Amino acid sequence: MAEAVTWSTLRTEAAARLRDAGVPSPDADARWLVAAAAPDVDGPVGERALAYFDAMLARRRSGEPLQYVLGSWGFRSLDLLVDRRVLIPRPETEVVAGVAIEELRALGGGTAVDLGTGSGAIALAIATEVPAASVWAVDRSSLALEVARANLAGIGRPGARVRIAEGDWFDALPAELRGQLQVVVANPPYVAEDDVLPAEVRDWEPHGALIAGPSGIEDLDRIVEEAPAWLDRPGALVVECAPHQTEVVASLAEAAGFDEVEVGLDLSARPRFVLCRLMGA
């Protein structure tokens, strides 16, 4: 009798096939795919689970990012639905969300706005981790907001404190929020049109989530300039950007009238975001 196939053998074979296809982390990815397909990695390999596994393996071999193949990805304490409608949430953005959360806690809670929410990652993390927060999640992409809404539905009670608004940065918000926000946080597009991106990013992630314009600074510039009019005093803006943009963004924030401007580091100790505070009136 032929020996029954096991998840362990399938994982080893999948890693080899991913390696052949040029996937950069074949062993780790094979483990992720098995974990997603197998109800029990030590149990028998069912027909449906195997078909699902093979389909995921083919997608990953074609270069599709692991997170889209799996259909979900972790962000802080959340497990978020992700697909091609949204940017894949990045570890550096978990740091940025953490800073926004600390700022909001220090202010005793209040209203926070996540500009360019995509999957809803930052907005939903704030709502989940700060019980005294009321959160607005803004995006101009209706497709991204479909994903954000699905993720919102998945977080339970904190979701009652989150509202979603479709539109262009601050223009999406009701006018009565002007001057009333405790925290604004954004991970806007910050790639320049001519920048070279890794193929896995360029070919799969939404261009509207990545490319800002000819210089890459266009959206950062608008957000930093408009934020003081929307923030209460005290209040804080936290914006993610590329390491080479932090000094420019810090100068823009000083020119926009922020009282304190600090550049913060990501988990690899690269400059990655700018924290801008307005002091109490």
Ligand X SMILES: C[S@@+](CC[C@H](N)C(=O)[O-])C[C@H]1O[C@@H](n2cnc3c(N)ncnc32)[C@H](O)[C@@H]1O
* Closest to ligand X by CB, 116 or 271: 116
Where in 25-84 is the site for ligand X (CB under 6 A)?
none
CA 242 to CA 190: how far, in whole Å? 7
Q: Examine residue 169 and tell whether it contacts ligand X (CB under 6 A).
A: yes
| φ/ψ bin of 44: left (φ > 0), alpha (ψ from -120 to 50), beta (otherwise) | beta
Q: Examine residue 140 and tell whether it contacts ligand X (CB under 6 A).
A: yes
Contact residue for ligand X among 37, 122, 133, 220 (CB under 6 A): 122
* Closest to ligand X by CB, 80 or 256: 80
Binding mask 195-214 for ligand X (x = CB under 6 A): -------------xx-----
Instruction: Determine whether 53 is exposed, middle or buried from the number of CB atoms within 10 Å of its CB (0-12, 13-18, 19+).
Output: buried
Contact of 198 with 253, CB cutoff 8 Å = no
> For 111-145, b where at least 16 C-beta lie within 10 A, e where not — what string?
bbbbbbbbbbbbbbbbbbbbeebbbbbbbbbeebb
Contact of 123 with 136, CB cutoff 8 Å = yes
Contact residue for ligand X among 65, 158, 188, 228 (CB under 6 A): 188
Give SS3 for 3: coil
Q: Examine residue 93 and tell whether it contacts ligand X (CB under 6 A).
A: yes
Task: Specify the stretch interacting with ligand X by CB under 6 A; choose among 64-72, 102-110, 186-194, 243-251.
Answer: 186-194
Q: How far is the CB of 51 from ligand X (least distance, A)?
A: 31
Q: What is the largest CA-CA distance in the chain?
A: 81
Token pair, residue 91, equals 């570890």
Contact of 52 with 71, CB cutoff 8 Å = no
Q: How far is the CB of 35 from ligand X (least distance, A)?
A: 23
Give the Å distances, CA to CA, from 256 to 217, 219, 264: 15, 15, 19
* Closest to ligand X by CB, 56 or 138: 138
Q: Examine residue 155 and tell whether it contacts ligand X (CB under 6 A).
A: no
* Closest to ligand X by CB, 208 or 264: 208
Q: Phi/psi of residue 114, each to 5°?
A: -105, 105
Q: Examine residue 139 and tell whether it contacts ligand X (CB under 6 A).
A: yes
* Closest to ligand X by CB, 14 or 130: 130
Q: Examine residue 141 and tell whether it contacts ligand X (CB under 6 A).
A: yes
Q: Examine residue 89 and tell whether it contacts ligand X (CB under 6 A).
A: yes
* Closest to ligand X by CB, 87 or 227: 87
Contact residue for ligand X among 26, 65, 158, 189 (CB under 6 A): 189
Where in 230-259 is the site for ligand X (CB under 6 A)?
none
Total residues binding ligand X (CB under 6 A): 22
Instruction: Determine whether 1 is exposed, middle or buried from the number of CB atoms within 10 Å of its CB (0-12, 13-18, 19+).
Output: exposed
Contact residue for ligand X among 26, 116, 216, 228 (CB under 6 A): 116
- Cα angle at 242 between 217 and 140, to 5 degrees? 55
- Chain positions contacting ligand X, by CB under 6 A: 87, 89, 93, 116-119, 121-122, 138-141, 144, 168-169, 187-189, 208-209, 219
